[in-house]
Structure 1
Amino acid sequence: MPPSLSSRLSALSLAAMPLLFVALWSTGFIGAKFGLPYAEPFTFLFIRFVCTLALLIPLAHWLSDGWPKGARLWAHIGISGLLVHAAYLGGVFYGIHLGMPAGLASLLVGLQPLLTAALAGPLLAERLTARQWAGLLLGLAGVSLVLGGKLDPGDGLFQGFGLGALASVTIALLGISGGTLYQKRYCTGMPLLSGTVVQYLAAGVVLGIGALLFEQRRVEWTLTFALTLGWLVLVLSIAAILLLMALIKRGEASRVASLFYLVPPVTALQAWWLFDERLPMASLAGMAIAIAGVVLVVKGKRV
């Protein structure tokens, strides 16, 4: 292959990798919608983490540049795993289990850059730019429009779901935002792949306890559930993580962060196509405004 053609193909593949990562990541919400009719949320996630660890531990041993050093770093990584995986995924799955549309759940947790930016000031002594403050206000206005479009006082507060679903997804948003800040502050020495194993271990234990205490742990092993579980394990928990590692190694992590605002509309489109989930025009306008707010926050970071 001529060197020029090879370099062009390499550049194209590198440019496509962030988009591929976002496309894969958005299917996690759809996977929850497909799988939850056959298993309760904590049980579903516990099985997912057990299957993931069975594959990821050998991969970490083979590909990783070592395991975390010292008990303190292990503890910090475990806490970040409880926030990033147990609280985040547990909240999202439980909210969808209680009736929240997958597209709306994706939008609410997609506000993570806004909340992280708001908390980074007091926790990490980072100052917000004027553009980021504008983005925060836009994001809040957009979410208000989205939730207002679903408001139906005559049908239990929110059409199709109640405060429990909203509280669950709010916990997910707080978990991913707090986990991001915690990991940034305390887990800087974390090897990415083996550290992810530690995070999954901690989250799996807590979700397993949750399944034991609060669920009946019944699973319908249908073909749909098995295929959904396989997709979430192989594509989300393994392939997406390895893709993220490749992006970080090539210095493309910032591009992934800037493209995360595409996850909510991609998820909403998938949910409309697969499940006929429809949002009112006010909610669609609110989604666009909220995404614009996230873009301002991400793009408004000081260099």
Structure 2
Amino acid sequence: MPPLFYSFFVPALFVWLWSTGFIGAKFGLPYAEPFTILLMRMLLTLIPLAVLAVVMKTRWPGWRGAGHLVVTGLLVQGAYLGGVFYSIDQGMPSGLVSLIVGLQPLVTALAAVLVLRESVTTRQWLGLVMGLVGVALVLLEKLGEGQSGLSLPPITLLWAVLALIGISLGTVYQKRFGTGVDLIAGTMIQYLAAAAFFALGAFLLETREVQWTLQFTLALGWLVFGLSISAILILMWLIRRGAASQVASLFYLVPPVTALEAFILFDERLGVLAMAGGVVAVTGVALVVMQGPRPAKT
């Protein structure tokens, strides 16, 4: 295979798969409540993962390591996916949700400074400020009666912020406590923890009714095999090839890719102010991601 295949095509494919998760939620949520569809997604994903664990003779962590993975699963899968699905379910455009949670590298960098005592360069601080300003511009239009005529209640924004906090803290926690664990074993434990979390929410807060339409079936199938299985397997392959850095550098493309998909599929439009804010936010995230924080001097 040519070097371009490893350095660009496969990481870009991973980014595209990740971006379609917001679209899959948009397609599936009209037919099932958020926690219900997420519970089904986790349970269906665990089946092929269990087969892979047997075939690949997965090594399982001890109880202490498993406990850390449970915390990571509740943050990265539970809080992140729950926040994303509920914000979309309550009317937030999928492109806007993607932009908000796309600030994850910025929040993670700040958390790394506080938790891991990492340093942040001047370039990265500039990126942090640009990211926040960009999202503020988007919200300035979307939270009022912007060009799209959309008015978002504060609770919808809180769900998106919960998703952002969940994946950001989960990333830092994983970096601090979850390194060196077999990826399939770690993924299964995280999904089991998330499934328990979603089951609690589905049985306490929702009716658990599902309309089994073709659109819902296809959306659920894509969320399971396109996102929870394929994206994870590609990520494993990239890590083994030593290309994880390319994934990080391309990750800031997720919000514009999602916005384009939402425009084509759902006619979700951004006004001039929101588009300008999106460009500023994506540029800010790029400044943070493309030059990672360096360890503090001792």
Residue 151 in 1 paired to residue 143 in 2?
Answer: yes
Distance in 1 (CA, whole Å) between partners of 2:145 and 2:276 is 21
Give the partner amino acid of 2:34: P
Say whether residues 1:78 and 2:106 are aligned partners.
no
The 5 Å alignment of 1:4-153 reads 9-15=1-7, 16-63=9-56, 65-68=58-61, 70-152=62-144
Query: What SS does the corresponding residue of 2:242 show, helix, strand or coil?
Result: coil
Residue 227 of structure 2, aligned match among 223, 236, 241: 236
Q: Which moved more, 1:14-23 or 1:239-248?
A: 14-23
Deviation at 1:150, TM superposition (A): 1.2
Structure 1 distance, partners of 2:19, 2:235, is 14
| CA distance in 1 between partners of 2:20 and 2:31 (Å) | 18
> CA separation in 2, counterparts of 1:81 and 1:181?
13
Measured in 2, the distance between the counterparts of 1:233 and 1:298 equals 28
Q: Is the 8 A contact 1:100 1:160 kept in 2?
A: no
Question: Is 1:196–2:181 an aligned residue pair?
Answer: no
Q: Are 1:255 and 2:246 an aligned pair? A: yes
**1:302, CA displacement in angstroms?**
4.6
Q: State how far apart, in whole Å, the 1-side matches of 2:36 and 2:16 are.
A: 26
Distance of 2:239 and 2:278 partners within structure 1: 29
Are 1:298 and 2:289 counterparts? yes
Q: Residue 10 of structure 1: CA displacement?
A: 4.0
Asked whether the 8 Å contact 1:88–1:176 carries over to 2, the reply is yes
The aligned counterpart of 1:268 is 259
Q: Match for residue 3 of structure 1?
A: none
Partner letter of residue 27 of structure 1?
T
In the alignment, the residues of structure 2 paired with residue 26 and residue 188 of structure 1 have an alpha-carbon distance, to the nearest angstrom, of: 25
Which segments of 5 or more consecutive residues in structure 1 lack a partner in the other structure?
Answer: 1-8
Cα distance in 1 between the residues matched to 2:113 and 2:293: 13
Match of 2:170 in 1: 179
Alpha-carbon distance between aligned partners in 1 of 2:102 and 2:255, rounded to the nearest angstrom: 7
Counterpart of 1:179, as a letter, is G
Q: Which runs of 5+ in 2 are unaligned?
A: none
| Offset, 1:71 | 0.6
1:176 & 1:110 partners in 2: Cα distance? Answer: 10
TM-fit CA distance, 1:151: 3.1
Q: Please give the per-residue CA displacement for 1:203-227, whole angstroms capped at 9, x wherever unaligned.
A: 0001111000000000000000001
Normalised TM-score (structure 1): 0.93
Alignment coverage as a number of residue pairs:
291
Of 34-43 and 53-62, more deviation after overlay is shown by: 53-62
What fraction of aligned residue pairs are identical, expressed as a percent? 57
In structure 2, the residue corresponding to 1:152 is in which secondary structure? coil
User: Which residue in the other structure is 1:283 paired with?
Assistant: 274
Shift of 1:193: 1.2
Q: Which runs of 4+ in 1 moved over 3 A?
A: none
Work out whether 1:222 is the aligned partner of 2:181: no
What is the SS of the residue equivalent to 2:31?
Answer: coil
